[in-house]
Amino acid sequence: MERIYLDYAATSPVHPRVLEAMMPFLGGGVYGNPSSVHAFGREARLAVERARDRIAGILGCSPSEIVFTSGGTESDNLALFGVFEAFVGRPGVGRAGREDPERDGESAGFRGRPHLVTTRIEHHAVLNAARRLEKLGCDVTYVGVDAFGRVDPDEVARAVRPETFLVSVMFVNNETGVVQPIREIGERLRKCGVLFHVDAVQALGAVDFRIDGLPVDLMSFSAHKIGGPKGVGALYVSRRVRLAPQLCGGAQEHNRRAGTENVAGIVGFAEAVDIAVSHLDERRRSCLAARSTLLDELRRRLGDDAIAVNGHPTEAAPHIVNVSFPGIPSDVMVWNMDLLGVAVSSGSACSAGAPEPSHVLEAMGLPDDVRRSAVRFSFGPETRTDEVVAAAERVETFCRMFRNKKYGNPTGGPK
């Protein structure tokens, strides 16, 4: 039985071109420390800076505005905690962490408690960081979404206070694929003079955008979602933003992120960004075809009443679709689909095994049976139509088995 991978939103296989680009830095050809001044170090430093230039050119920003990190989670944390610390405790810093020469030598001087605005549907890298900020004395407003999972830009703007140091809204939701109105939110925040951070981990390679065409100040990225290696990512930091480093160590990344750079990972990241963006239209068409085929097959095999598609009907990224099978618990479906050779998930890979249903679907106000039976299917450029058809067939097989109570349970828990 052929195994079928439909969990690209969790991670993706490394592209052959990416692996080829990384090999000189993994196999011993180039192994110097980029901070070393000798020829070995300079060779590694050149590779890092070329990758930085390449990524910046593709994404539409200055190379100096790219900070390499260990991935999307660190990028999100660096944005929230870095701006927070700059806002509350650094001299010469004005409202929202922007440099203010007229206040040189003064404290931030805000009135009241510092305030963060985010949404109820963010990735846990943002939500858990926000909860920690609350423990550090920060007020947090969690903006809701409509039944389709979209944020209202006006509601975000209304949540802003004089003490707001940052607003953080994800570009593409990692569970539903819903695309948020980032431009509209950013335009409103520019009028308020508040910094705007966007988690773009699921948007890169799925949505057509350039940073210089969006009103954003910080943006998070991850390599392994787009055919790059795990353990590397980036944070775009506008030159207008003061960011307090969150790692104590050396002066790497212009004193914004200490630690020896992951040279091989950074080189691979740049190659992956190039491939993802240059083949964006092709990737979108491929994923849209897979999405359409899956839904058509499920409806044909199970009937319209047996499934519910969660998310926005039009404002959605092509590579993610969230489907509920009311009456079948998500974990039971995921476990048994794995037994049938199909890899899917019940939501974010970072929250796998969580006993509670999706916080994203809860924020959308969906019924309990819909929330508790949701499964995420996600596609990549390698996904074939015949694989999607076969996956739908195996879903049908399991649904029949479930109705007849003839299915396995690999965890040993209740059926």
Please, are residues 55 and 66 in contact by the beta-carbon 8 Å criterion? Answer: yes
- pLDDT tens column, 177-200: 999 999 999 999 999 999 999 999
Q: 144 and 194 in one domain?
A: yes
Q: Which two tokens stand for residue 207?
A: 């949505």
Q: 293 and 349 in one domain?
A: yes
DSSP state of 375: E
Q: 230 and 355 in one domain?
A: no
Judge whether 412 lies within some domain.
no
Residue 85 DSSP SS3: helix
- pLDDT tens column, 338-388: 999 999 998 655 554 555 789 999 999 999 999 999 999 999 999 999 999
Q: 319 and 267 in one domain?
A: no
C-alpha 404: how far from chain center: 39
Q: 306 and 258 in one domain?
A: no
| CA distance linking residue 200 with residue 221, whole number of Å | 6
Q: 273 and 287 in one domain?
A: no
Q: 201 and 184 in one domain?
A: yes
Judge whether 409 lies within some domain.
no
pLDDT at 415 over 80: no
Residue 175 DSSP SS3: coil
Residue partners of 30: CB distance under 8 A and separation at least 6: 24, 40, 43, 44, 47, 263
| CA distance linking residue 320 with residue 178, whole number of Å | 9
Q: 358 and 250 in one domain?
A: no
Give residue 100's pLDDT: 46
User: Which CATH number belongs to the domain containing residue 42 in this structure?
Assistant: 3.40.640.10
* Pair type for strands 218-222 and 233-237: antiparallel
Given 236, 251, 278, the domain boundary residue is 278
pTM: 0.91
Q: 399 and 318 in one domain?
A: yes
Q: 293 and 181 in one domain?
A: no
| Burial tier of 102 (Cβ tally within 10 Å: 0-12, 13-18, 19+) | exposed
- pLDDT tens column, 385-409: 999 999 999 999 999 999 887 655 5
Q: Is 350 a catalytic residue?
A: yes
Q: Which two tokens stand for residue 301?
A: 């095999």
Given 224, 255, 278, the domain boundary residue is 278
Q: Which of 324, 329, 352, 306 is nearest to 415 (CA)?
A: 329
Average pLDDT of the chain, as a whole number? 92
Question: What is the span of the domain harbouring residue 286?
Answer: 4-12+280-403
Residue 170 DSSP SS3: strand
Residue 164 DSSP SS3: strand
Q: 331 and 228 in one domain?
A: no
pLDDT at 98 over 90: no
Q: 351 and 257 in one domain?
A: no
User: Which CATH number belongs to the domain containing residue 390 in this structure?
Assistant: 3.90.1150.10
The count of domains in the chain is 2
Given 225, 245, 278, the domain boundary residue is 278
Judge whether 359 lies within some domain.
yes
Q: Please pick, among 61, 138, 192, 350, the residue that the annotation labels catalytic.
A: 350
